Amino acid sequence: MLLGSRHLGLKIRTDLEIQPINYRGQKALLIADRLGLIKKPVVIQGEALEVLALIDGSREAEDIQLEFLRRKGYSLTGTSLVSQILDEFKKLWLLDTPEFQERREALVREFSDLPLRKAALAGEVYPEDPQELKQFLDQIIKQKELPLEIKSCLAASRKPKVLIAPHIDLRSGQQLYSLAYRCLEGSSYDRVVVMGTGHSPETGLMSLTEKDFATPLGTVITDKDAVKKLKKAAYDLATPHDLAHQQEHSLEFQLLFLQHLLGNEFRLIPILFGSFQPWLQKVNRASAIPGFVSFLNQLRDLASVPDTLIIAGVDLSHIGPKFGHQKTASELKEATVAFDHDILEALLDLDAENFWKLHQEANDNSNVCGFPVLAVLLEIIKAEKGYLLGYDLASEEATQSAVSFTAAVFF
């Protein structure tokens, strides 16, 4: 038996955010954790990176040690190095171990017992002071003027029924946040359905919560009766807990603008959608997913109640090495922009099947994180006409990657 502690069934956690980077001239991985066990992103490089690449769920610690030594040509004394690296991975909560599962279950219970979902990003990506936050949001909203056609709709007392806004970093997407949320100036709603992307991988198609939501601008009350109806209709398609909401920004960013423009009097229906990838090639639209119709019907009924607004907090394509592509974002940009405009055309045409077909043909190669949300939107929307307000693509030079996003309104 090789020296060192024994690590059986070693595999990396599936809920980590892992992106390739260049760190001090070397290839590395930057690992972040939405669960919060890893407080700050961790950089893995050198021999630790080589060991990490061998952890695929099929090897025990001994097998990893042997393969590492075979590749490196080390003597058996090198096994202590591998053991040290594996122990460090365990301490960093990178591995899916019994200890991790136990800690995760404790976090699930702790969060489930809370009556309130507190702001996760206040003081980090936007001001924590209420007055500073209001000024910050005002500056964003005033960035752009609405097109005359939209102003005419609003002047005719036509309130938006659906709003599509980004969930990208508030500063990166400020012009499209501006175009989206200027549509709500002077409006009021009794209830707002906010649908966002759940970036933390979970079982189930969606995550529902009855928690009220707090930000520096106050607390918004969740429509708990509505959420209970959705849970009943979703049955086992929903996650059994609401931990996905704890750190998720796709709803939090929308809520800031809603509170700033509408106050805190509206009731909230918050929904996070997970990946539809397992069903992409098996069905031709979201409503064809087995067992999903009951949930969609209930959501459509809730969204059809007068004075209800639907918000979709989504981004579009994620391209470049950061998101698993061999090519850079600049090399993929032309094809990506063309694809994005095709899916936006299907969206504005309210064509659920063509929207799904376009993603099938691309096999989700563009990593459209908003695909599930928009696919659901097309199943429940009751609007006469949609307008594209804007489209943009934010580049990240350090990783040669980019994210596209849009803003749209339906009356």
Mean pLDDT of 262-289: 97
Binning pLDDT at 50, 70 and 90, where does residue 201 land?
Answer: low
Which of the 8 DSSP states describes residue 146?
P
Q: What is the pTM of this model?
A: 0.89
- Mean predicted lDDT score pLDDT of the chain: 93
**Is residue 269's pLDDT more than 60?**
yes
Binning pLDDT at 50, 70 and 90, where does residue 159 land?
Answer: very high
Lowest-pLDDT choice from 2-11, 145-154, 288-297, 340-349: 2-11
Binning pLDDT at 50, 70 and 90, where does residue 6 land?
Answer: very low
Mean pLDDT of 90-103: 94
Q: Which tokens hold the place of 189?
A: 């709603």
CA distances from 242 to 116, 202, 251 (A): 12, 10, 13
Determine contact, residues 368/316, Cβ cutoff 8 Å: yes
Q: Which tokens hold the place of 83?
A: 């053991």
pLDDT of residue 9: 77
Q: Which tokens hold the place of 332?
A: 């993929």
CA distances from 153 to 161, 189, 285, 308, 387 (A): 12, 17, 31, 18, 11
Mean pLDDT of 342-362: 98
Cα angle 59-103-209, degrees, rounded to a multiple of 5: 115
pLDDT of residue 200: 77
Q: Which residue has the tokens 């996905």?
A: 244
pLDDT in tens, 208-266: 999 999 999 999 999 999 999 999 999 999 999 999 999 999 999 999 999 999 999 99
pLDDT of residue 77: 60
Identify any residues that bridge with 386 across adjacent strands, giving them in sequence order: 410
Q: Which tokens hold the place of 252?
A: 């939090």
Question: Which of 340, 408, 403, 387 minimizes the C-alpha distance to 172?
Answer: 403
Binning pLDDT at 50, 70 and 90, where does residue 78 land?
Answer: low
Mean pLDDT of 358-364: 93
pLDDT of residue 1: 36
Binning pLDDT at 50, 70 and 90, where does residue 280 land?
Answer: very high
**Is residue 5's pLDDT more than 70?**
no
Q: Which tokens hold the place of 86?
A: 């594996």
Mean pLDDT of 328-353: 98
Return the higher-pLDDT residue of 26 and 229: 229
CA distance 329 to 175: 21
CB proximity list for 314: less than 8 A, separation 6 or greater: 164, 165, 166, 167, 196, 197, 250, 369, 370, 373, 374, 405, 406
Determine contact, residues 19/28, Cβ cutoff 8 Å: no
CB proximity list for 251: less than 8 A, separation 6 or greater: 194, 196, 213, 245, 270, 272, 313
339 three-state secondary structure: helix
CA distance 258 to 191: 11
Axis crossing angle, helix 130-141 with helix 249-262, rounded to the nearest 10:
90
pLDDT of residue 2: 40
What percent of the chain lies above the pLDDT cut of 70?
A: 97
pLDDT in tens, 109-150: 999 999 999 999 999 999 999 999 999 999 999 999 999 999
pLDDT of residue 7: 44
pLDDT of residue 3: 40
For residue 1, with 0-12 CB atoms within 10 Å meaning exposed, 13-18 middle and 19 or more buried, which class applies?
exposed
**Is residue 204's pLDDT more than 60?**
yes
CA distance 148 to 156: 12
**Which domains does the chain possess?**
16-105 (1.10.10), 115-410 (3.40.830.10)
**Is residue 297's pLDDT more than 80?**
yes
Question: Which of 44, 86, 95 minimizes the C-alpha distance to 61?
Answer: 86
pLDDT in tens, 316-327: 999 999 898 999
- In this structure, which amino acid lies at residue 94? L
**Is residue 155's pLDDT more than 50?**
yes
Using left for φ > 0, alpha for ψ between -120 and 50, and beta otherwise, residue 399 falls in: alpha
**Is residue 61's pLDDT more than 70?**
yes
Q: How far is CA 101 from the centre of its chain?
A: 22
- In this structure, which amino acid lies at residue 130? P
